[in-house]
Amino acid sequence: MRTEQLTTHQKTLQRVKKRPFSTYQFQTRLFLFPYILGTFILVVLPALATVVIAFTNYNTIRPPEWVGLENFFRLSQSAYARISIQNSLYFIGLAVPLRILGALLLALLLQRKRRLFGLHRAAVYTPTVIPPVAYSLLWLWILNPVYGPLNIFLGWLGLPMPAWLTEPGSARLAMVILSLFQIGEGFVVLLAGLQTIPRALYESAKVDGASGWQSFWRITLPLLVPWLLLLTFRDLLVSIENTFTPSFVITYGGPYYSTTFAPLLVYELAFDFFDFGMAAAFMLLFFVLMALLIGGITALVGPRFVREDA
Amino acid sequence: MRKLQGFWRTGLHHGTAVTVTAVFLLPLFWMLVTSVRQPGLPPQRTVEWLPESIRWQNYADLFVMMPTARYIVNSLKVIAVAVPVTLFIASTAGFGMSQLASAWRRRLFLGSAVLLMIPGTAVWMFRFQILQWLGLIDSLWALIIPAFAASNPLFVLLFYWTYRQVPASIFESARLDGADALTVWWQMARPLARPTAVGVIILTFVMYWNDFIAPVLYIYDAQLYTLPLGIQILKQLEYGNWPYLMAGSVVMMLPIIFLFILLQRAFLHNISLANLFERN
C-alpha cells in the first residue's frame, strides 16, 4: 500500500519532468493557431487586399494591372456611385440615431424585473434573429400599397397612405423603417450597461430630492455615454451592411436606384460586372467616409465626456 | 394617494410594455395567419385577425413546387459541419488565449475587437478569389469555411471570458499532475464552459441558417442552394401569392424561434460557474 503510493508519486514526478511547463504553454499556443491562421486568411488578408485591389483593374480573370487612381476618377464620374453614397448617408443619418434612441428607450422601459418583462424583452429581440430573407418577404407584404397591413392601418387612422416600394422617396424611408425593428443587439448591450450603474447613486439622488427626470439626465445618461458611443460606432458600420438582404430581396436597389445602398453597389460592381477594382475603390472610399464620421463624433463628444469623467 | 399614483404608474408601465411587445410581434402573427390562407383568393382589404379556414396544405405545397427538401438538407449539411467546428475552434482558442501572459492576452483581445469592426463587404471580393484558388466556389465548403476561423471573433472572446473566470490554480494542479493542454481543456475547462457553449452553438446555428449573402456570392449550382436562396426563388415563382410566401418565411423562421425558446431554458437550467464553485 505504502510502496504503491510512493511509486505513483514517483511516476507523477517523472511525468512532470517529461512534460515541463514550457511544453504546456507551447500546446496552449497551438490552440490559438487555427483561429489566428483562419482569421488571417479569411478576414485580415481579404480586407487588406481590398485596399490594394482598389488601385488595380482586377477582374479575377486577367492578371491585375496597377492603374493608380483611375478607379477613383471613374467613381467621381459615376452617377451610380454618387447616388449610392447619397442613399447610404441618408440611411445612416436617419437610421443610426433612431436605432440607438429606440434601443435606449426600450432598455429603459424594460430594465426592471417585473412580471412578464422577460417575455417583453424576448419580443423586442425577436425581429433581430429572424432570417433576413424571411424578414424581407414579410416587409414586402406589410408595405404593399393596397393590401399591406401598414397602409390598411394608416387608412383606418385617416393618415396618408404612401405608395412605399413603388416611389423612390418612400421606398428609401421604408428601408430605414424596417431596420428600426432589428435593434435587439443595441437593446441587450444597453440593458447590460444599465445594470452596471450602482443603485446607490439613484438612492442618494432621491434623498437629495432629485426627480426621476433629473436623475436620468445627471446619472443614467452620462454613465451610459461610453456604451452609446460604442454602439454608435458599431452601428455606423453594421447597420448599412444589414441593408444588403432587404434591398436585394425587396427592391433590388429600385425604384430608380433609390434603395441602392453601398453594399448593393459593391455587389453589383464586383459580382455582376466583375469589376473588382471599381468595387474595391468604392468600398475603400465608403470606409474612409465612415472613419471620418467616427473621428468627427469622437472629436465632438470625446472631450466633453472626458471632462465629465474627471 | 401616493399608493394610488404608484398603482397607475405601474399600470402604465405594464401597458407600455405590452404595446411594445404587440408592435414587435404583430407582424409575425400576421405572417402565420396569412401562411394558412387559401392561396389564389383575392387579398383581403382589411386586416384579417384569424383566417376563415386553415389550410395546412400550403406548407406541403412548398415541398412540391420547388425542391424545398433539398434546400433544407443543404442548409443542414452546412450547419452539421460548421457548428461543431466553430465550437471546437472557438473553445480551444478561447482556452489558449486565457493561458497566455497578460501582455499577449491584451494584444489578442484588441486584435479580435478590431476584427469585429471590419465590414463584411470589405472581404467579399478577395475571399471569392481565395475560394476560387482553393476550388471551393460552387461547393458547400465555401459556406462552411468561416467556421475554421471560429465563425466570429466574438465567440472566441466569449470562451476567453468564461475561462478567465476559472481560478488559475485549478488548471495548474492538473498541469502538475502531468496532463497535457488538450486533456486539461477537455476534462477540466470545457465542462465549466457549458453555458457559454450552449450560447455559441445557438448563435452559430442562427448565423449559418440565416446566411443569405455567402450563398448569393459563392453558390451558382442550383443543386447546392440552401434554404435562404430557396426562399428567394419562391419569391420569384409565386410573386404576390402571399400565403405561399409567408408559409416559406415561417419554415425559414421556425427553427430559429424554437432554438431561442430552447436557449432560455438552457440558460435557466444550467449549472452556472458560480454554482459550481460554491459546491466545491
B182 in a structural domain: yes
Question: What is the least distance, in Å, from the CA of B277 to any CA of chain A?
Answer: 23
Interchain CB contact of A280 with B (< 8 Å)? yes
Q: Mutation test of the interface with chain B: which of A9, A50, A250, choosing the one with the most B Cβ atoms within 10 A? A: A50
Is pLDDT of A1 > 50?
Answer: no
**What pLDDT is attached to residue B137?**
92
**What pLDDT is attached to residue A171?**
93
Q: Which are the contacts of A194, defined by CB distance < 8 A and separation ≥ 6?
A: A107, A108, A111, A220, A224
Which A residues in the span 63-102 are in contact with B, Cβ-Cβ below 8 Å?
none
Question: What is the least distance, in Å, from the CA of B178 to any CA of chain A?
Answer: 5
Is pLDDT of B275 > 70?
Answer: no
What is the arithmetic mean of pLDDT over A11-28? Answer: 65
Q: Are A250 and A140 within 8 A, CB to CB? A: yes
Q: Is B24 exposed, middle or buried (0-12, 13-18, 19+ CB in 10 A)?
A: buried
- Predicted confidence band of residue B54 (pLDDT cuts 50, 70, 90): confident
Q: Which of A16, A42, A60 sits opposite B146 (nearest CB)?
A: A42
Is pLDDT of B103 > 70?
Answer: yes
Interchain CB contact of B176 with A (< 8 Å)? yes
**What pLDDT is attached to residue B277?**
32
**What pLDDT is attached to residue B279?**
33
CA distance B62 to B238: 10
**What pLDDT is attached to residue B165?**
85
DSSP-derived letter for residue A68 is T
DSSP-derived letter for residue A164 is G
Nearest residue in B to A117, CA atom: B17
Which of A200-214, B41-55, B185-199 comes out lowest in average pLDDT? B41-55
Which neighbouring-strand residues pair with A66? A56
Q: Mutation test of the interface with chain A: which of B75, B115, B121, B155, choosing the one with the most A Cβ atoms within 10 A? A: B121
Q: Which are the contacts of B134, defined by CB distance < 8 A and separation ≥ 6?
A: none
**What pLDDT is attached to residue B138?**
92
- Predicted confidence band of residue B272 (pLDDT cuts 50, 70, 90): very low
Half-sphere CA count of B48, side-chain side, radius 13 A: 20
Look-up of cell digits 407582424: B27
pLDDT digits (tens, 9 = 90+) for A48-102: 999 999 999 888 778 888 988 889 999 999 999 999 999 999 999 999 999 999 9
Q: Give percent above pLDDT 90 in chain A.
A: 39
CA distance A236 to A248: 20
**What pLDDT is attached to residue A304?**
65
B267 in a structural domain: no
pLDDT digits (tens, 9 = 90+) for A142-175: 998 888 888 888 888 888 888 888 889 899 999 9
Other C-beta atoms lying within 10 Å of the C-beta of residue B60:
10
Q: Taken in order A154, A158, A160, A161, is the CA torsion positive or negative?
A: positive
Nearest residue in B to A28, CA atom: B96
Which A residues in the span 98-157 are in contact with B, Cβ-Cβ below 8 Å?
106, 109-110, 114-120, 122-124, 126-127, 129-135, 137-138, 140-142, 144, 146-147, 149, 152-153
pLDDT digits (tens, 9 = 90+) for B199-244: 889 889 999 999 999 999 999 999 999 999 999 999 988 888 888 9
pLDDT digits (tens, 9 = 90+) for A224-234: 988 898 889 88
Domain of residue A133, CATH code: 1.10.3720.10
CA distance B125 to A59: 10
Q: List the domain range (segments joined by +) for residue A86.
A: 78-309
Q: Mutation test of the interface with chain B: which of A10, A22, A37, A126, choosing the one with the most B Cβ atoms within 10 A? A: A126
Is pLDDT of A307 > 90?
Answer: no
Cβ contact (<8 Å) for A241 and B121?
A: yes
Is pLDDT of B65 > 60?
Answer: yes
Q: Which of A27, A237, A245 sits opposite B117 (nearest CB)?
A: A237
Chain B residues in contact with A288 by the CB 8 A cut-off are none
What is the arithmetic mean of pLDDT over B9-17? Answer: 88
CA distance B156 to A36: 11
Q: Which of A49, A127, A233 sits opposite B24 (nearest CB)?
A: A127
**What pLDDT is attached to residue A7?**
62
Is pLDDT of B260 > 70?
Answer: yes
Chain A residues in contact with B212 by the CB 8 A cut-off are 131-133, 245, 248-249
DSSP-derived letter for residue A63 is P
Is pLDDT of A103 > 60?
Answer: yes
Q: Let me know the angle formed at the C-alpha of B144 by B160 and A185, rounded to the nearest 5 degrees.
A: 50
CA distance A35 to B90: 7
Interchain CB contact of B128 with A (< 8 Å)? yes
**What pLDDT is attached to residue B176?**
79
Which of A81-95, A130-144, A192-206 comes out lowest in average pLDDT? A192-206
Pick the more confident residue, B55 or B80.
B80
Q: Which of B122, B184, B245 sits opposite A47 (nearest CB)?
A: B122
Q: Which of A23, A46, A131 sits opposite B252 (nearest CB)?
A: A131
Domain of residue B168, CATH code: 1.10.3720.10
Chain B residues in contact with A137 by the CB 8 A cut-off are 231, 235, 245-246, 248-249
C-alpha distances out from residue B194 to A29, A208, B159, B197, B208, Å? 22, 46, 10, 5, 21
Tally of domains within chain B:
1
Q: List the domain range (segments joined by +) for residue B130.
A: 66-237
Terminus-to-terminus CA distance in chain B, angstroms? 51
Pick the more confident residue, A99 or A195.
A99
Q: Is B269 exposed, middle or buried (0-12, 13-18, 19+ CB in 10 A)?
A: exposed
A156 in a structural domain: yes
Mean pLDDT of chain A: 86
Pick the more confident residue, B29 or A14.
B29
Q: Which of B156, B210, B235 sits opposite A132 (nearest CB)?
A: B210
3-state secondary structure string, A132-161?
HHHHHHHHHHHCCCCCCHHHHHHHHCCCCC
State the amino acid at position B251 in one-letter form: V
B73 in a structural domain: yes
DSSP-derived letter for residue A56 is B
B50 in a structural domain: no
Which of A229, A254, A235 has its CA nearest to residue A128?
Answer: A235
pLDDT digits (tens, 9 = 90+) for A105-115: 999 998 887 77
Cβ contact (<8 Å) for A27 and B100?
A: no
- Predicted confidence band of residue A262 (pLDDT cuts 50, 70, 90): very high
A20 φ, ψ to 5°? -70, 170
Is pLDDT of A137 > 50?
Answer: yes
Is pLDDT of B44 > 80?
Answer: no
Cβ contact (<8 Å) for B123 and A46?
A: yes
B38 in a structural domain: no
Is pLDDT of A210 > 70?
Answer: yes
Mean pLDDT of chain B: 85
Is pLDDT of A238 > 60?
Answer: yes
A235 in a structural domain: yes
Question: What is the least distance, in Å, from the CA of B279 to any CA of chain A?
Answer: 27
- DSSP readout, A8-31? HHHHHHHHHHHS-HHHHHHHHHHH
List b or e across A199-221, with b for residues whose CB sees 16 or more CB atoms inside 10 angstroms: eeebeebeeeebeeeebeeebbe
DSSP-derived letter for residue A67 is -
DSSP-derived letter for residue A283 is H
B157 in a structural domain: yes
Cβ contact (<8 Å) for A31 and B20?
A: no
Chain B residues in contact with A192 by the CB 8 A cut-off are none
Is pLDDT of B81 > 90?
Answer: yes
Tally of domains within chain A:
1
Is pLDDT of A17 > 70?
Answer: no
Which of A88-97, A123-132, A137-146, B268-277 comes out lowest in average pLDDT? B268-277
B36 in a structural domain: no
Half-sphere CA count of B22, side-chain side, radius 13 A: 6
ipTM of this complex: 0.86
B246 in a structural domain: no
**What pLDDT is attached to residue A6?**
53
